[in-house]
Amino acid sequence: MSIRHSLVPLAGAGLALTAVFGLSACTSNTPAPDDAADASSQPQAVSANDDPGSTVTIGFSAPAADHGWMSAIAAEAEATAAQYSDIELRTAEGTNDVNLQISQVEGFINDGVDAIVILPFDGAALTEVALKAMEAGIPVINADREFSDPLAARATVLGDNYGMGVSAGEYICSQLEGKADAVVAEIAGIDSLPLTQDRSQGFADALSECGLSVNARVAADFTVQGGEQATANLLQANPKIDAIWNHDDDQGVGVLAAIENAGRNEFFLVGGAGSANMMREIQSGDSVVKATVIYPGTQAADAIKLARLLVQEKSMSDLASFGVPSRVVLHAPVVTADNVDQYLDSAFES
């Protein structure tokens, strides 16, 4: 039985904000003659969401772009804003200093921006200043790391962390089918983060569906160095492993270095986030890396689009409901040799 997250994703990477329908000029079942075709028989856009509107000033704050995924977050946000002539994006310097990020948001409030997009270094720590912005009438769009109070954001865009674990677990189950004594290992990120806890829970739940469990687990810190050290410890303590799930492809660079140093290849590895270098490992066909689970680097870009719609009082045209959803959870597909070409060009570099 397949486990799926109870929240159905409302959007994929990039939030499709226009819908296209084929409209027919005919009302009978008789095909119209070729010369009867005109503009009304062509696909017609039903949304003008991308048409320029009133200028929207958006303040954007995120952690330091100190690894590939976070670099992609900032780059995608800025590139998306640049697509719209009616967006003025004010980007604060990326920082892992919580107090500095709070000051940045306070600066946006004092400047009277129209909306604020925040990917907080620590969601709980940024909650109070986000509430302050909301109380000042400035809509806040929260990306990736949730605030501790739902009232601190008008909309939230999240990767599906639980779904990542489920996807990784289901893939491993499919590859180890019938091998009840298989040894499965897990290399997590920062254990204190709710997103890590959600990923691990989804992984355990999916494995349990095929009679497997996590036999060995270590936690790293989303860095190359942390990934290498944690993996070295894991391999030393476990002389035989059948499959490993590594939560993060950036720390995966260190994971692969430790595997190479140990001379181990009896297992296969599933990555997490979907970096280009891990996809090239998959593509090569001679690596222990056989799959990676996408964690979209477009969350802040999606938040920029939602901020624009909110301020201009528009709706998401692909939904029947008026307005913008309060919560969007993005999909976590598995990339394998069968579909890697579909994802490689848009992947980030670790």
User: What are the pLDDT digits (tens) for 245-280?
Assistant: 999 999 999 999 999 999 999 999 999 999 999 999
Residue 215 has a CB neighbour count (10 Å cut-off) of: 16
Q: Per residue in 13-54, pLDDT tens?
A: 334 433 333 333 333 333 344 443 343 333 334 468 889 999
Domain 161-295+335-346 belongs in CATH node 3.90.650.10: no
User: In sequence order, what E strands does the chain have?
Assistant: 20-21, 44-45, 56-61, 87-91, 115-118, 140-143, 155-159, 184-188, 214-219, 243-246, 268-273, 289-294, 327-330, 334-335
Give residue 30's pLDDT: 36
Give residue 171's pLDDT: 98
Residue 235 has a CB neighbour count (10 Å cut-off) of: 22
Residue 247 has a CB neighbour count (10 Å cut-off) of: 32
pLDDT band at 178 (very low <50, low <70, confident <90, very high): confident
Give residue 350's pLDDT: 87
Handedness of CA 184, 190, 192, 195 (dihedral sign): negative
User: Which of 267-288 are b and which e, b meaning 16 or more Cβ less than 10 Å from the residue's Cβ?
Assistant: bbbbbbbbbbbbbebbeeeebb
**322 CB contacts (<8 Å, ≥6 apart)?**
315
Give residue 175's pLDDT: 97
Q: Between vectors from CA 276 to CA 273 and to CA 281, what angle results, nearest 5°?
A: 100
Do the beta carbons of residue 291 and residue 334 sit within 8 Å? yes
Give residue 37's pLDDT: 39
**329 CB contacts (<8 Å, ≥6 apart)?**
5, 7, 8, 9, 10, 158, 159, 160, 163
Looking from the CA of 218 toward its CB, the CA atoms found within 13 Å total 21
Q: Per residue in 79-123, pLDDT tens?
A: 999 999 999 999 999 999 999 999 999 999 999 999 999 999 999
Q: Per residue in 211-235, pLDDT tens?
A: 999 999 999 999 999 999 999 999 9
Give residue 266's pLDDT: 97
Span(s) in the chain for CATH 3.40.50.2300 = 56-159+297-330, 161-295+335-346
**205 CB contacts (<8 Å, ≥6 apart)?**
3, 165, 166, 169
Give mean pLDDT, residues 166-192. Answer: 96
pLDDT band at 193 (very low <50, low <70, confident <90, very high): confident
The pLDDT of residue 1 is above 90: no
Q: How distant, in Å, are the alpha carbons of 73, 136, 144 from that of 139?
A: 20, 9, 17
Give residue 327's pLDDT: 95
Report d(CA 328, CA 142) in Å as an integer. 10
Domain covering 56-159+297-330 in this structure, CATH number? 3.40.50.2300
Instruction: Of 31-45, 262-276, 316-330, 335-349, give the lowest mean pLDDT range.
Output: 31-45
Of the chain, the percentage scoring pLDDT greater than 90 comes to 81
Q: Is the pTM of this model over 0.85?
A: no
Instruction: Compute the mean pLDDT over every residue in the chain, rounded to the nearest whole number.
Output: 88
